[in-house]
């Protein structure tokens, strides 16, 4: 599945608001762009995505049934 297909799937299933799935989409897009980026640009983009993932923290604790 490429990034366009993943984006359409997320929209169709109404999952576009789930931040962990948006991070997956960003990772897929970055994977597709890897050959077009220099090593430092790729590393910076990956670091940015990782930081955003870490910033999510454990926001779901106590809301598991609602969000998963």
What is the span of the domain harbouring residue 42? 3-53
pLDDT score for 16? 87
Is residue 59 a part of any domain in this protein?
no
Burial per residue of 25-52, b for 16 or more beta-carbon CB atoms within 10 angstroms, e otherwise: bbbbbbeeeeeeeeeeebeebbeebeee
Is residue 26 a part of any domain in this protein?
yes
Is residue 8 a part of any domain in this protein?
yes
Dist. CA 29–CA 22, nearest whole Å: 11
pLDDT score for 9? 95
Dist. CA 41–CA 36, nearest whole Å: 10
Is residue 17 a part of any domain in this protein?
yes
User: Count of domains in the chain?
Assistant: 1
What's this model's pTM, rounded to 2 decimal places? 0.81
68 residues of the chain, pLDDT tens digit each: 999 999 999 999 999 888 889 999 999 999 999 999 999 999 999 999 999 999 988 877 888 888 77
pLDDT score for 63? 83
Whether the Cβ atoms of residue 47 and residue 30 lie closer than 8 Å to each other: no
Is residue 20 a part of any domain in this protein?
yes
Dist. CA 8–CA 35, nearest whole Å: 24
Is residue 9 a part of any domain in this protein?
yes
């Amino acid at each position: 599945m490429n990034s366009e297909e993943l984006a359409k799937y997320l929209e169709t299933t109404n999952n576009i608001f789930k931040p962990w799935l948006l991070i997956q989409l960003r990772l897929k897009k970055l994977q597709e762009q890897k050959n077009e980026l220099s090593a430092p640009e790729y590393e910076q983009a990956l670091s940015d995505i990782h930081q955003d993932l870490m910033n999510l923290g454990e926001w779901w604790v106590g809301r598991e049934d609602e969000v998963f």
